[in-house]
Amino acid sequence: MSTPALRLSSVSRRFGALQAVRDVTFDVAPGERRAVIGPNGAGKTTLFNTICGDFPPSSGRIELFGLDITRARPHQRTRLGIGRTYQTSLLFNGLTVEQNLFVAVRGVQPHRWSVLRSGRDDPALAKARALAERVQLAPLLSERVLNLSHGQRRQLEIGMALAGDPKVLMLDEPAAGLSAGERPGLLAMLRTLPRSVTLILIEHDMDIALPASDIVTVMKDGEVVVEAAPDRIEDDPTVQAIYLGTGH
Ligand SMILES: Nc1ncnc2c1ncn2[C@@H]1O[C@H](COP(=O)(O)OP(=O)(O)OP(=O)(O)O)[C@@H](O)[C@H]1O
Ligand SMILES: [Mg+2]
């Protein structure tokens, strides 16, 4: 076995009396596609936040390619190869697709307007355009974000998360708010991501989560309750109990 891309060992997170994440342990292999599913409040985003460094776990250990990052700052994790999107969008609405990607490539905030006045041969600009291509937004480079559809915004967020060339890409509900017509495009795009990128996604839509993943982690009340291949998930009695309210 090679070193896991990500290793979670008994990761827990409390908010006061609330145990939002409880004793979560799993490995994600390099190149793996891992879906994390579970009902609202299950602790999925909190788990992501401990992995990305928004706050540390209350206890437990997180390793990225064998390196202990449990207490590392978010920017250190970014530098070490974690890229993420947020459940709530962080795009700059008044800027174009190209400018948003450019800002992400430069890793700066757009209030420093000077960074947006780039030379035509700026490598960051070339990279921004390549990212637009990768997330299927190349025809919309000059479009301002406020004119994009919901699905196009989600694509742009993924493009921005890819700007730092992450080894591990973490997407928090990439299909949230997408129309039925936009969903197959998102799935297709996720499938074009190279296996050099390990993918972990939180997703409520099973029509995306299952075909996009090699393995599915099901969380409930902060705990991992099922870990199984996607073709086993819908028939799993625990999953059925959670989603259909049978038993328990
Ligand atoms: N910063 C915080 N402070 C206090 N409680 C929090 C905080 N973040 C999350 N929680 C609580 O932790 C629990 C898990 O929340 P979390 O957002 O991780 O769930 P989730 O699985 O992502 O849910 P959803 O599917 O609705 O996004 C919830 O009870 C939530 O209210
Ligand atoms: Mg969430």
DSSP annotation of 133? H
- Band (pLDDT 50/70/90 cuts) for residue 173 is very high
Establish whether residue 42 lines the binding site of ligand 1, counting it when its CB lies within 6 angstroms of any ligand atom.
yes
Average pLDDT over residues 88-110: 83
Average pLDDT over residues 162-187: 93
Per-residue pLDDT at 248: 47
Of 11, 13, 18, the residue with max ligand 1 atoms within 8 A of its CB, to mutate for a pocket test, comes to 18
What's the pLDDT tens digit per position in 78-90? 889 999 887 666 7
Per the listing, tokens 């309210």 go with: 245
The helix or strand, by DSSP H or E, that contains position 104, with its residue range, turns out to be helix 97-106
Residues of the chain above pLDDT 90, percent: 79
Q: Is the pLDDT of residue 119 over 70?
A: no
What's the pLDDT tens digit per position in 208-223? 999 999 999 999 999 9
Q: What does DSSP say about strands 6-15 and 18-28: parallel, antiparallel, or unpaired?
A: antiparallel
SS3 content of the chain, % helix, strand, coil (to 5): 35, 25, 40
Per-residue pLDDT at 245: 74
Average pLDDT over residues 111-137: 79
Distance from the alpha carbon of residue 36 to the mean position of ligand 1, in angstroms: 14
Residue nearest to atom 26 of ligand 1 (CA): 40
Angle ∠(236,197,80) on CA atoms, nearest 5: 115
pTM of the model: 0.91
Q: Which atom of ligand 1 is nearest to the CA of 46?
A: 18
115-122 contacts, C-beta under 8 A, 24 or more apart: none
Q: Is the pLDDT of residue 109 over 90?
A: no
Per-residue pLDDT at 118: 60
Topology of 1-81+166-248 in CATH? Rossmann fold (3.40.50)
From the centroid of its chain, how far is CA 102? 20
Distance between CA 217 and CA 224 in Å, rounded? 7
Establish whether residue 44 lines the binding site of ligand 1, counting it when its CB lies within 6 angstroms of any ligand atom.
yes
Q: Is the pLDDT of residue 110 over 90?
A: no
User: What are the structural domain ranges in the chain?
Assistant: 1-81+166-248, 91-165
Q: Is the pLDDT of residue 171 over 50?
A: yes
At 182, which amino acid appears?
E
What is the chain's mean pLDDT, rounded? Answer: 91
- Band (pLDDT 50/70/90 cuts) for residue 235 is very high
Residue nearest to atom 3 of ligand 1 (CA): 15
- Who's near 190: CB < 8 A, 6+ residues apart? 33, 174, 199, 201, 208, 212
Short-list 188, 185, 158, 161, CA closest to 174: 158
Short-list 195, 194, 234, CA closest to 211: 234
Average pLDDT over residues 237-247: 83
Average pLDDT over residues 148-174: 93
What's the pLDDT tens digit per position in 2-34? 899 999 999 999 999 999 999 999 999 999 999
- Band (pLDDT 50/70/90 cuts) for residue 65 is very high
